[in-house]
Chains A and B, each alone.
Chain A
Amino acid sequence: MRRIGIDVGGTNTDAVLIEEGKVVRAMKAPTSEDVTTGILAALKSLGATGLLAGKKIDGVMIGTTHFINAVVQRRNLTKVAALRLGMPAAASLPPFCDWPEDLAALVCGGVWMVEGGHEYDGRPFMPLDEAAVTRAAQEMKAKGLKSIGISSIFSPLDPSHERRAAELVTAVIPDAIITCSADLGRIGLLERENAALLNAALADLSRDTIAAFEDSIRESGIAAPLFITQNDGTVAEASQARRLPVYSFASGATNSMRGAAYLSGLQDAMVIDVGGTTTDVGQLKNGFPREANSVVKVGGVRTLFRMPDLLSIGLGGGSHVQLDPLKVGPLSVGYKLLKDGIAFGGTQLTTTDIAVATGLLTLGDKSKVTHLDAATCQKVFDESARLAEEAIDRMKTEAGDIKLIAVGGGAFLIPDKMAGVSQVIHVEHGDCANAVGAAIAQVSGECDQIFKDLTRVEAISAAQGIANDRAVAAGAARATLSTIESEDMPLAYLPGNSVRVRVRVVGDVAGS
């Protein structure tokens, strides 16, 4: 197995080559404003080592915070038409009703609510008003809207109205890009609809970004398929990831934590990932990030994704440092670190400058930071450590000291002794943990179907078997499979004890 893992962060683009489970080479390049130049630079420098010559690469796995950043920073979002099938229910709470106003103003291209949807037992709530859907599509077309989010009452049980509406819309707008809420899963109309609308808002960015990733790989001369890493630590093929960009929202953080587990060999520990701009703190349980409970807000929008439970603070290698009064972060020079930092001839004092002054890092021009005395530098380090300790304490679920794995390009800010920590572990290649996590991303298998005439336990077990087989067929090692999602819903309206079961399993890539 030979994979290249790439993590495109806000500050750095990291790349690693992993062969038979070992990190062979790690590279770091500043993230470029257009994102892809950084990837290309990283891939080219890997290629320049000659390590790739004549070798088959099984995949390039890219983790990116691009999509979630677009939502959080309100950039590059597409206007979306929201089509809800469920009238006359829920009329007082239309699509976008609980979005932050600024984001709704950017994304909402119009709301259409028509009759349709199902009851909990599968009967239609109202027949789908097909004529109204077609009229809505014509109005969307007149407004120039092409990205459409469709939601329907109880569509996770019966997606037929959403599917039919998608056909009707496509008949009017042939190049429509449609997200059906049933593809994003769960019961809870508003949250599922919100996820569909966010996904639709990322349609253009997703298409362009993934095309650019593919171009970068091609241009670098590497012949390998592109995979995009997902929130749950697995990978999706580029074509699927393009369709459902919301599933890669939190993949950067998941990758860091999975990489930290891999590099340290620890399955249970706290992980602190100090990047250029932000520091993420999360807890590893059995080698996976602990999950956030229930509703997760993305850019202020309530959704129901499975996301790692993380605390982010504004601390990193590019954090602005103010000496009097002492303040570290939350502002950062970001990807301009190697231009704007004082050690690099710029004017903004950063935490990296402090580390250069003390000799902790050998970067830039040390003579430019000789004015920083040891006592001052120590104060900055102490303040950074205090911010980190506070974040670690907030993420603890149990009292007592825990092991801490420090990774990321800014891990030099994490001292060897900290309050509430039994041991601080720095690992080789820890500055590229996120790219390592991308490279070792797992393979998943899913089963979502209706079982009849089985007990609930039998049905779940049957679904698990199918999901396991699918994961193995996709390249997972059977011994490593574990269930990460298991949900079942009885379908009272169908004869013979019918139950719909959704099971998702993941496993490590089998050695070849």
Chain B
Amino acid sequence: VSLREITPDDVESLAVGAWVLGTGGGGNPYLSLLNMRLLHKEGKRVQLMDASDLDDDAYVAVIAGMGAPLVGIERLTDHRVFARAARLMETHTKRKFDAVMGMEIGGGNGVRPLLVAANLDIPVVDSDTMGRAYPEAQMTSVAVGDLKPYPMTVVDVRGLESVIETVPSWKWAERVGRKIVVEYGSTASTCQPPRTGAEVKKWGIHGTTTKAIAIGHAVREAQRTHADPVAAILAVEPGKLLYRGKVVDVERRVTEGYLRGIARFDGIDDWRGVPMEINFQNEWIVAWLDGEAVAMSPDLICVLDSVSGEAVGSETIRYGQRVTVIALPPPDVFLTPKGMEHVGPRAFGYDLDYRSVFSA
């Protein structure tokens, strides 16, 4: 098994890259980054491993924060609460974890497996189950693969702890889990249904931590050398520039533990006079250019600060910000009919046939 240390500089890049892959949701990784800096200062080190190096019967924790990012930036993140979600699962299933991975690479959840790894002293697997961020538990590769959707632990900072013992489907896991999270105040730390090494190898989306570090590194290098950070992302990822504009309105509502709404933009440069609207459910889901749906899930819609190249989240985007919108290609697992059922536009209530930005 080859382990590579995730250096403090890697974590800085990971935080920037995971935020880009968060596609507006997942929460700004900054708070997880602060926790990780703290752990590094205490001498804790975290190792990264490839899924292919997992034993078939290895026991892998799948970590995720759930809730509305808006709540996350008030309640902040505490690494010990995520560790508690994993330990509760160990106690409940009477088995120790061999490694930990993230449910989603996008947003704060891209960094949180590291917090658990540092506490439990186990390596992080370089894979996740979304390749981005998504708002619901059934929007994962392991759900598309129909893997077992239970048990799940849900804990909060006040000591509240829940175990979802059995549910018949991923949608039920989402429904029941969501109710608990909403009662907790729309933010909670969860240990998702644990996976075997064989399952991770077959259904994980691989290399995503490394990918996020590479994107973050490109942005940070561009900032340092005053190069164009958006161009830097498009140089390391096969993405597409969709729009440049300015935020003119943001409509938000917190419902069922999600932040939903619409961000509206006025175009600049080549898009002068052309409005864009992006619907969000935590994440950017559908982008409308002058009334026409031009990008939609599962394509990754990334709204970036035009100057810094850093991602702009749906919970913090505000009037007057200048942004660049790009699209990045989705993981293959979501492009099948089954994948589309889970994360296509209709899964979010939009009566649209998926048309990829990248097929045009």
Report whether B77 and A397 are in contact in the complex, using a CB–CB cutoff of 8 Å. no
- B-side contacts of A92, CB under 8 Å: 35, 38, 76-80
Flag A171-208 by CB within 8 Å of B: 1 or 0 each. Answer: 00000000000000001111000000000000000000
Q: Which of B34, B249, B255, B321 contacts A294 (CB 8 A)?
A: B321
Assess whether B350 is interfacial by the CB under 8 Å rule.
no
A89-B157, A486-B319, A489-B252 are contacts. A98–B185 as well, Cβ < 8 Å? no
Q: Which of A123, A190, A293 has the most CB of B within 10 A?
A: A293
Q: Are B157 and A293 in contact (CB under 8 A)?
A: no
Looking at the assembled complex, report how far the CB atom of B66 sits from the nearest CB atom of chain A, in whole angstroms: 14
B105 lies within 8 A of chain A by Cβ: no
- Quick check: B186 and A120 within 8 Å, CB to CB? yes
* B253 close to A (CB within 8 Å): yes
Minimum CB distance partner of B249 in chain A: A486
Which residue in A153, A291, A293, A490 is a CB contact (below 8 Å) of B75? A153
Given the interface pairs A98-B34, A487-B319, the reply to whether A188 lies near B74 with Cβ below 8 Å is yes
Asked whether A401 is an interface residue with its Cβ less than 8 Å from the other chain, the reply is no
Interface range, A side: 35 or more
Contact of B269 among A90, A91, A187, A398 (CB under 8 A): A398
| 5 closest cross-chain pairs (CB), A and B | A90-B76, A92-B78, A119-B185, A89-B75, A89-B157
Chain A residues near B251: list those with CB within 8 A.
456, 488
* Interfacial residues of chain A within 61-101, with CB under 8 A of chain B in the complex: 86, 88-93, 97-98
Partner of A189, one of B68, B74, B185: B74
Complex-state Cα separation, A75 to B198, whole angstroms: 60
Indicate whether A335 reaches chain B with its CB closer than 8 angstroms. no
**Closest residue of chain B to A399, judged by CB?**
B269
**B355 contacts the other chain (Cβ, under 8 Å)?**
no
Judge whether A309 is part of the interface by a CB distance below 8 angstroms: yes
**Can you report 20 residue pairs joining A to B where beta carbons are below 8 Å apart?**
A88-B158, A89-B78, A92-B35, A92-B77, A93-B34, A93-B78, A97-B34, A125-B75, A153-B75, A187-B70, A188-B74, A290-B322, A294-B316, A294-B318, A398-B269, A456-B251, A487-B318, A489-B252, A490-B252, A490-B254
Chain A residues whose C-beta falls within 8 Å of the C-beta of B340 in the assembled complex: none
Query: Which stretch from B147-155, B212-220, B293-301, B302-310 is at the chain A interface?
Result: B302-310
Q: Is the CB of A291 within 8 A of B157?
A: no
Hey, which chain B residues are within 8 Å of A488, CB to CB? 251-252
CB of B258, distance to nearest CB on chain A (Å): 12
Q: Which B-chain residue is minimally distant from A92 (CB atoms)?
A: B78
Q: Does B273 contact A (CB under 8 A)?
A: no
**Contact residues of A with B, CB < 8 Å?**
86, 88-93, 97-98, 117, 119-121, 123, 125-126, 153-154, 187-190, 290-291, 293-294, 309, 394, 397-398, 456, 485-490, 492
CA distance A487 to B249 in the complex (A): 9
When distances are taken between beta carbons in the complex, the residues of chain A under 8 Å from B120 are: none
CA distance in complex: A290, B320 (Å) = 9
Contacts of A125 in B (CB 8 A): 75, 185
Q: How far is the CA of A187 from the CA of B186 in the complex (A)?
A: 15
State how many angstroms separate the Cβ of A238 from the closest Cβ of chain B.
29
Q: A92-B78, A93-B35, A394-B226 are in contact. Are A294 and B305 (CB under 8 A)?
A: yes
Question: Please, which residues of chain B bring their CB within 8 A of the CB of A397?
Answer: 268, 306-307, 322
With a cutoff of 8 Å between Cβ atoms, the chain A residues found around residue B78 in the complex are: 89-93
Does B289 sit at the interface, judged by CB under 8 A?
A: no
Please give, as numbers and ranges, the residues of chain A lying within 8 Å of B79 by CB-CB distance.
92
In the assembled complex, the Cα of A492 lies from the Cα of B305 at a distance in Å of: 30
CA distance A67 to B312 in the complex (A): 29
Q: Which of A117, A154, A293 touches B322 (beta carbons < 8 Å)?
A: A293
The answer to whether B34 and A188 touch across the interface, beta carbons within 8 angstroms, is no
Residues of B within 8 A of A294 (CB): 305, 312, 316, 318, 321
Q: How far is the CB of A299 from chain B (nearest CB, A)?
A: 18
A88 and B322: CB pair below 8 A? no
Instruction: Give chain B residues whose Cβ lies under 8 Å from the Cβ of A126.
Output: 158
A136 → chain B closest CB, angstroms: 20
Cα distance A455–B80 when bound, in Å?
Answer: 42
A121 to B322, CA, bound (A): 30
Q: How far is the CB of B13 from chain A (nearest CB, A)?
A: 18
Residues of A within 8 A of B34 (CB): 93, 97-98
User: B305 — which chain A residues lie within 8 A by C-beta?
Assistant: 293-294
A155: nearest chain-B partner, CB-CB: B74
- Residues in B with CB closer than 8 Å to A189 are 73-76
